[in-house]
């Protein structure tokens, strides 16, 4: 404690300690700049990386964007950013939110981050694997695997490439693919295999990974989108030779078409040619039970859009904007009852075909 106090006591400071204190003051003065910069992205709001403070040698295990709440069970939904939404095999709705991991069941939201005493980091991604286990990606705390009874946390200490995880998927062999800010980690149930730009990946900041019915992996990054055939990474281009930048979402529809959403808008590849449906930035893509494509898109005002007749050419497709929002929409889900769920900056909303319910 004496050594710590000396760093804050001017009369006892050495020149080295003065430099350390000045550096620390500068760090705190710059914190608002980090927050403002993080909010300038079109669709992603992330905290700075978790590190160890070199001046005081203790871990800074803090997520400044985590929305603290003591609630475990409530009929009221989250009040913070809801990034991703899935429905599990039992009909439960799982939410990746800035308040952590939440489940909606029988009219009640349960905050598992509080209930299970998980690390206080916001959740960014959620996925159910074929075994029924659930996976959650966080920004700073790696990934969690939940078997219905306990959570297991995997981080860089276990071989994960990066603890800031943005997306999760499972391939046809049962491997778990984990996209992060540092590249891709593939988990085979025992260990991680990692891929970065050193292996040919087009960028290390990963937005989405999808394996198509032919076993080809489509990868959206903050840089250029690419594919992986099991051996090499290849840049994706359209007929004009243009690549696709900052692809946020990838979807293979029931007909085997590949959809890309990102800076270049919404594109569909039918195996022969590319078709463009909008040039407006697209964040998330979802196919409903009728084969309609739903997107969250926008710059400034954001819209939920439903594209009907998507097997046709773009000029024959009917597009309907169901809701316009002055901020952002995130994840999209159609549940087993046919209701649509949407994540927003202030929580989660459900649409029954006529009206929106906000769970407030």
Q: Tens of pLDDT along 161-174?
A: 999 999 999 999 99
Q: Name the pTM for this structure.
A: 0.84
Instruction: Determine which helix (DSSP H) or strand (DSSP E) holds 342, and give its type and residue range.
Output: strand 340-344
Which domains are seen in the chain, by residue range? 2-45+54-59 (no CATH), 73-357 (2.130.10.10)
Is residue 38 within 8 A of residue 46, CB to CB? The reply is yes
Percent of the chain with pLDDT strictly greater than 90: 79
Distance CA 247, CA 44 (A): 13
- How confident is the model at residue 164, as a pLDDT? 96
- How confident is the model at residue 56, as a pLDDT? 38
- How confident is the model at residue 325, as a pLDDT? 80
Tell me the per-residue pLDDT of 110-127, one tens digit each, with 9 for 90 and over. 999 999 999 999 999 999
- How confident is the model at residue 4, as a pLDDT? 27
Is residue 83 within 8 A of residue 330, CB to CB? The reply is yes
Is residue 158 within 8 A of residue 143, CB to CB? The reply is no
Lowest mean pLDDT among 21-35, 183-197, 331-345: 21-35
Percent of the chain with pLDDT strictly greater than 70: 83
- How confident is the model at residue 27, as a pLDDT? 35
- How confident is the model at residue 317, as a pLDDT? 95
Query: Once rounded to an integer, what is the mean pLDDT over residues 239-266?
Result: 98
Single out the residue of 47, 58, 1, 67 nearest to residue 24, CA to CA. 58
Tally the C-alpha atoms within 13 A of residue 116's C-alpha that lie toward its C-beta.
20
Lowest mean pLDDT among 51-55, 84-88, 302-306: 51-55
- Average predicted confidence (pLDDT) for the chain: 86
List, edge to edge, every strand of the sheet that includes 329-334: 329-334, 340-344, 347-351, 356-357
Q: Do β-strands 206-211 and 282-287 pair in parallel, antiparallel, or remain unpaired?
A: unpaired
CA dihedral sign of residues 247, 263, 43, 329: negative
- How confident is the model at residue 8, as a pLDDT? 26
- DSSP bridge pairs for 110: 73, 103
CB atoms within 10 A of CB 113: 25
User: How sure is the predictor about 334, in pLDDT bands with cuts at 50, 70 and 90?
Assistant: very high
What is the residue whose two structure tokens read 């204190």? 21
- How confident is the model at residue 299, as a pLDDT? 83
- How confident is the model at residue 51, as a pLDDT? 53
- How confident is the model at residue 326, as a pLDDT? 75
Is residue 314 within 8 A of residue 359, CB to CB? The reply is no
- Helix, coil or strand: residue 304: strand
- How confident is the model at residue 66, as a pLDDT? 95
Query: Once rounded to an integer, what is the mean pLDDT over residues 67-96?
Result: 97
Query: Once rounded to an integer, what is the mean pLDDT over residues 68-87?
Result: 97
User: How sure is the predictor about 225, in pLDDT bands with cuts at 50, 70 and 90?
Assistant: very high
- DSSP bridge pairs for 163: none
- Helix, coil or strand: residue 89: coil
Distance CA 57, CA 194 (A): 29
Distance CA 168, CA 133 (A): 13
Q: Looking at the predicted structure, is the pLDDT value of residue 9 above 90? A: no
Is residue 358 within 8 A of residue 349, CB to CB? The reply is yes
Burial of 317 (0-12, 13-18, 19+ CB in 10 A): middle
Distance CA 241, CA 217 (A): 20
Helical H runs in the chain?
2-8, 15-38, 112-115
């Amino acid at each position: 404690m004496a050594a710590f106090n000396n760093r804050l006591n001017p009369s006892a400071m050495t020149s080295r300690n003065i430099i350390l204190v000045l550096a620390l003051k500068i760090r705190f003065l710059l914190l608002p700049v980090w927050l403002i910069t993080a909010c300038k992205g079109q669709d992603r709001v992330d905290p700075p990386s978790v590190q160890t403070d070199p001046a005081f040698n203790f871990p800074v295990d803090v997520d400044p964007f985590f929305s603290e709440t003591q609630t475990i069970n409530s009929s009221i939904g989250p009040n913070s950013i809801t990034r991703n939404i899935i429905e599990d095999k039992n009909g439960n709705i799982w939410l990746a939110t800035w308040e952590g991991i939440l489940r909606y069941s029988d009219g009640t939201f349960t905050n598992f981050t509080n209930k299970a005493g998980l690390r206080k980091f916001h959740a960014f991604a959620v996925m159910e694997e074929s075994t029924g286990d659930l996976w959650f990606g966080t920004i700073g705390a790696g990934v969690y695997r939940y078997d219905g009874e306990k959570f297991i946390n995997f981080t860089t200490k276990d071989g994960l490439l990066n603890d800031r995880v943005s997306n999760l998927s499972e391939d046809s062999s049962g491997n778990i693919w984990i996209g992060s800010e540092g590249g891709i980690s593939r988990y085979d149930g025992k260990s991680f295999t990692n891929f970065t730009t050193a292996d040919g990946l087009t960028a290390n900041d990963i937005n989405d990974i999808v394996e198509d019915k032919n076993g080809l992996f489509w990868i959206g990054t903050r840089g250029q989108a690419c594919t992986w055939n099991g051996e090499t990474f290849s840049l994706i281009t359209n007929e004009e030779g243009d690549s696709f930048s900052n692809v946020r979402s990838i979807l293979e529809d029931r007909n085997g078409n590949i959809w890309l959403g990102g800076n270049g808008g919404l594109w569909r590849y039918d195996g022969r040619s590319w078709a463009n449906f909008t040039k407006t930035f697209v964040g998330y893509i979802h196919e409903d039970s009728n084969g309609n494509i739903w997107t969250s898109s926008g710059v400034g005002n954001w819209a939920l859009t439903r594209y009907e007749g998507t097997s046709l050419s773009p000029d024959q497709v009917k597009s309907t904007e169901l809701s316009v929002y002055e901020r952002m929409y995130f994840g999209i889900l159609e549940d087993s009852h046919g209701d649509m769920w949407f994540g927003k900056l202030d929580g989660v909303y459900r649409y029954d075909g006529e009206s929106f319910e906000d769970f407030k």
